[in-house]
Chain A
Amino acid sequence: MASNKEVHASSIGEAFEMFFKNIKNYFADFGKALSKGDIAVKLSTVLMGAGYFARKKFIVGLLTMLMEAAFIFMCIFYAAPNLAKFGTLGDTVRSTQFDPLTMQNTVIEGDNSFLILLNSVIVLFLFVVFILLWIHNIKRAYELQQDYEKGVHINTFVEDVKSLFNGRFNVTLLALPTVGIVLMNIIPILILIAVAFTNYDQQHMPPSALFTWVGLANFKNIINLSSGSSAFGYAFFKVLGWTLVWAFFSTFTCFLGGIVMAKLITYRKVKFPKFWRTLFVVTIAVPQFVTLLLVRYFFGDTGIVNSFCASIGITDFLKSIGLVASHLSYIPFLTHPGWAKFMIIMINIWVGVPYQMLIATGVLLNIPESQIESAKLDGANTWQIFWHITMPYVLFVEGPTLITDFVRNINNFNVIYLLTQDTFVTTNQTLANANAKEVDLLVTWLFRLTNDYYNYKMASVIGIIVFVICAVFSLIAFSRFLANGREESYQ
């Protein structure tokens, strides 16, 4: 076994350095195994498992050989036909031909660009996995050779299996979850990335039509601000702006609201704190799609809030100060861009504050009592204690969660979709050309592009950009909050 000692990186730069060092070591070990290995190790490069046979590990050797055979089989019957067309993503369009025997038109299936892409991605992924296994097989053969030369005991097959529940239990534990993650996360992400470089959209829909590689055209399209043929550049920067504004406000309003609410409820003068807390928690226990849809009709143009506001004169007042256009007889809570953005953030406070309150209550309870006591002895008042002791502590504990919340809000699909879908109609023609709306987040825009307009190429580009944004924020956050030495400061 290699050394189990772990070195922690304290900055992104060091992390990268370590990463490259690890890669270097990985290949250095491989080279050493190849050059210093005996005939069995060298034979392993062609005939995988040879190294195992040489050390009398017949079952493992046989299994490895079978795996190699299966891989070769896969290459011939699955990989080759798909990879052959990977460069063009297919060239035969589906066509119909008149069949004189049956007197009917028969469909001749052409190439399906998407299937070629999908299968090729899977094949390429399998190639990478196979190469890693191949390298592992050679290294392992060399290790066995060394063990043999030193006279170290070599495990039998039964011992190998037993070690899967002891020393190598991690392999057993991680195998199935990894398969799941590959299937549900890695392969889809790879496909998404590939699609961003194609012209896969409504005009190029398999199986009736083909699509092909277009290089960086889609990326150019999305940062192209000149409003010529497409409005995507314009829409993209508008939607991106609102996404960031939304993520910032929704995160911080809920965070601060949660602390204030928690402070309020745990304040010693408040009667029945448990009752109030349960009341707030019940509001988040009702599923979001129920409450949000309900609230959407609550604030509808002809909804009950509007009736109420009209009857007590709020609507007229808002008209007189110019917040509501004079030709409207209602307050456009969720139908006017400005109002809708404001209301969405407000409604999100309604949704999010109880959650944050729950967390904040727990955090506040854990504040080291001694610090507050000593501050009191030094004559600090309530506000000073709040700003100089409570807040730093809360920020310390909740810092990472805050960033995850920010990232989650960038992708907060539910709130925006359930509040505005079907009710908000954009009047901005340029935005409408790109199938976007003022209140859209990048993710809701992406969802509409794929679900309603089949514009997969642009959706993929947006998906990649969102990922990059989220990754940057998370990496900055994690390196700041989880840097070494910071973890122990409150322990």
Chain B
Amino acid sequence: MENAIKRNDNFYLKEEKLRSKKKTELVSTVVINVLIAIFALIWIIPIVWLLVTAFSKYTGIDTMHFFPAQGWTLNNFKVVLFEPDSVCQYVAWFKNTFVIAIFSCLISTTFVLMVSYAFSCMRFKGRQTMMKFSIILNMFPGVLSMIAVYFVMKQLGLTNSHVGMVIVYSAGSGLGYLICKGFMDTIPTTIREAARLDGASEAQIFFKIILPLSKPIIVYTVISAFLAPWADFVFAKLMLNSGISSDWTVAIGLYNMLGKDLKSHYFSIFCAGGLLISIPISVLFLLMQKYYVEGVTGGASKG
């Protein structure tokens, strides 16, 4: 009898616990979703500001209103795309940056793949030394030696030229092989050995076996190399210093719009230009991010 009552008590206790657990579960679900919404809001506010200011009729920086108070317009985009003036040469900048990006992307990707294959799939005298040396060399940030780079390029007559920009962006790219090599390290050696037994040369293995298998990392390398010139600001500012605005890249062009005297007339145009360049870059970036994560995590655990 007593035992039966006890068991009954236990049963009710359990029931009670379950119900309260459900309650806390609900509360925590709400809390966590609200939390994430707040974070998302913080992160998206500047982007929304960029978006709405690009459509604003007021050309300066509106310090009182978040949303354009003077009404909406497409005029900023019209100025950016069809009405170049001495300050805003957006189409020309876009073209310059695009050409530079294409060529530096081609060269960089080729270099990275070449170095990665040599270090990952081949064994030769001095390989370890070269790898260590390149890691140390890579620690020397480009910003530091850029003045010397500038003088070397000036000596070669390549400042204020887009060829010079391509060289600046791609010549040293062989050092950035780590992620790509990390990926190639994961390709089983047996595949290469089998090919070698079949009489394939190293070059054939490189082109016909390793490259097709490395598609994800090639996509990553291509996109990241293509994006670099769009985001670079320092080298472009240093190298393209002639003051001829039609020679600039998008980054310096847009930066120039926010100069002391210009920003009250060009702020909303800056936003429109910034928005336009963000769209293709975002698309590419979203494509790349998958491979980016794979590359970083895969490469990191392989060393």
By the criterion CB–CB under 8 Å, are B172 and A192 in contact?
no
In the complex where A283-B47, A304-B64 touch, is A185 in contact with B230 (Cβ < 8 A)? no
By the criterion CB–CB under 8 Å, are B303 and A281 in contact?
no
By the criterion CB–CB under 8 Å, are B43 and A169 in contact?
no
Best-surrounded residue of A178, A185, A407 (most CB of chain B within 10 A): A185
A177 vs chain B, min Cβ distance (A): 3
Tell me the A393-430 residues at the B interface (CB within 8 Å): 396-401, 407, 411, 413-414, 417-418, 422
By the criterion CB–CB under 8 Å, are B274 and A173 in contact?
no
By the criterion CB–CB under 8 Å, are A288 and B171 in contact?
no
Specify which chain B residues have a CB less than 8 angstroms from the CB of A401 in the assembled complex: 296, 300
A312 within 8 A of B: no
Closest to A481 in B: B303
Closest to B277 in A: A287
Render A359-372 as a binary contact track against B, CB cut-off 8 A, 1 for contact: 10111001000000
Specify which chain A residues have a CB less than 8 angstroms from the CB of B5 in the assembled complex: none
Render B140-166 as a binary contact track against A, CB cut-off 8 A, 1 for contact: 110111111101100100000000000
Spot the interface stretch: A67-75, A89-97, A270-278, A373-381.
Answer: A270-278
Closest to A462 in B: B144
Specify which chain A residues have a CB less than 8 angstroms from the CB of B74 in the assembled complex: none
By the criterion CB–CB under 8 Å, are B175 and A181 in contact?
yes
In the complex where A6-B128, A169-B201, A358-B289 touch, is A185 in contact with B278 (Cβ < 8 A)? no
By the criterion CB–CB under 8 Å, are A307 and B172 in contact?
no
By the criterion CB–CB under 8 Å, are A284 and B203 in contact?
no
The contact of A298 among B49, B135, B277, by CB within 8 Å, is B49
**With A and B bound together, what is the CA distance between A304 and B67 in angstroms?**
11
How many of chain B's residues have a CB under 8 angstroms from any CB in A?
96
Best-surrounded residue of B141, B146, B251, B302 (most CB of chain A within 10 A): B141
The contact of B171 among A181, A269, A414, by CB within 8 Å, is A181
Specify which chain B residues have a CB less than 8 angstroms from the CB of A288 in the assembled complex: 231
By the criterion CB–CB under 8 Å, are A289 and B171 in contact?
no
Total A-B residue contacts, Cβ distance less than 8 Å = 270
A2 within 8 A of B: yes
Best-surrounded residue of A169, A189, A451 (most CB of chain B within 10 A): A169
By the criterion CB–CB under 8 Å, are B141 and A443 in contact?
yes
By the criterion CB–CB under 8 Å, are B152 and A118 in contact?
yes
In the complex where A2-B125, A288-B231, A400-B300 touch, is A174 in contact with B118 (Cβ < 8 A)? yes
**With A and B bound together, what is the CA distance between A466 and B145 in angstroms?**
11
Closest to A347 in B: B46
The contact of A270 among B32, B111, B129, B174, by CB within 8 Å, is B32
Specify which chain A residues have a CB less than 8 angstroms from the CB of B115 in the assembled complex: 173-174, 177
A221 within 8 A of B: no
**With A and B bound together, what is the CA distance between A295 and B286 in angstroms?**
23
Specify which chain B residues have a CB less than 8 angstroms from the CB of A255 in the assembled complex: none
By the criterion CB–CB under 8 Å, are A459 and B141 in contact?
no
In the complex where A181-B172, A185-B140, A456-B147 touch, is A418 in contact with B233 (Cβ < 8 A)? yes
The contact of A191 among B65, B111, B130, B148, by CB within 8 Å, is B148
Chief secondary structure at chain B's binding surface:
helix
In the complex where A184-B171, A303-B63, A422-B260 touch, is A294 in contact with B271 (Cβ < 8 A)? yes
Best-surrounded residue of A184, A474, A490 (most CB of chain B within 10 A): A184
The contact of A22 among B117, B129, B233, B254, by CB within 8 Å, is B129
In the complex where A170-B118, A185-B175, A291-B46 touch, is A285 in contact with B143 (Cβ < 8 A)? no
By the criterion CB–CB under 8 Å, are A192 and B147 in contact?
yes
The contact of B50 among A286, A358, A451, by CB within 8 Å, is A286
A166 within 8 A of B: yes
Render B168-194 as a binary contact track against A, CB cut-off 8 A, 1 for contact: 101111110000000000000000000
Render A426-450 as a binary contact track against B, CB cut-off 8 A, 1 for contact: 0000000000000000010011001
By the criterion CB–CB under 8 Å, are A290 and B254 in contact?
yes
B20 within 8 A of A: no
Tell me the B60-116 residues at the A interface (CB within 8 Å): 61-66, 111, 114-115
**With A and B bound together, what is the CA distance between A294 and B52 in angstroms?**
12
By the criterion CB–CB under 8 Å, are A294 and B49 in contact?
yes
The contact of B32 among A186, A191, A192, A264, by CB within 8 Å, is A264
By the criterion CB–CB under 8 Å, are A4 and B123 in contact?
yes
A256 within 8 A of B: no
B122 within 8 A of A: yes
Specify which chain A residues have a CB less than 8 angstroms from the CB of B28 in the assembled complex: 269
By the criterion CB–CB under 8 Å, are A184 and B147 in contact?
no
By the criterion CB–CB under 8 Å, are A466 and B141 in contact?
yes
A263 vs chain B, min Cβ distance (A): 10
Closest to B283 in A: A285
**With A and B bound together, what is the CA distance between A267 and B39 in angstroms?**
15
Closest to A490 in B: B301
List 9 extra interface pairs beyond A264-B35, A362-B297, CB under 8 A: A174-B130, A187-B148, A267-B32, A278-B286, A279-B44, A285-B285, A350-B46, A366-B297, A467-B144
Give me the 6 closest cross-chain CB pairs, A-B, nearest first: A177-B174, A188-B148, A362-B293, A180-B171, A169-B202, A285-B282
A-B contact pairs, 20 of them (CB 8 A): A6-B128, A15-B132, A169-B122, A170-B118, A173-B118, A177-B114, A186-B137, A270-B33, A280-B40, A280-B43, A287-B231, A303-B63, A358-B289, A400-B303, A411-B144, A443-B144, A466-B144, A467-B140, A467-B141, A467-B144
Q: Which residues of A contact B (CB under 8 A)?
A: 2, 4, 6, 8, 15, 19, 22, 114-115, 118, 165-170, 172-174, 176-178, 180-181, 183-189, 191-192, 195, 261, 264-265, 267, 269-271, 276, 278-291, 293-295, 297-298, 300, 302-304, 306-307, 350, 354, 358-359, 361-363, 366, 396-401, 407, 411, 413-414, 417-418, 422, 443, 446-447, 450-451, 456, 459, 463, 466-467, 470-471, 474, 478, 482, 487, 490
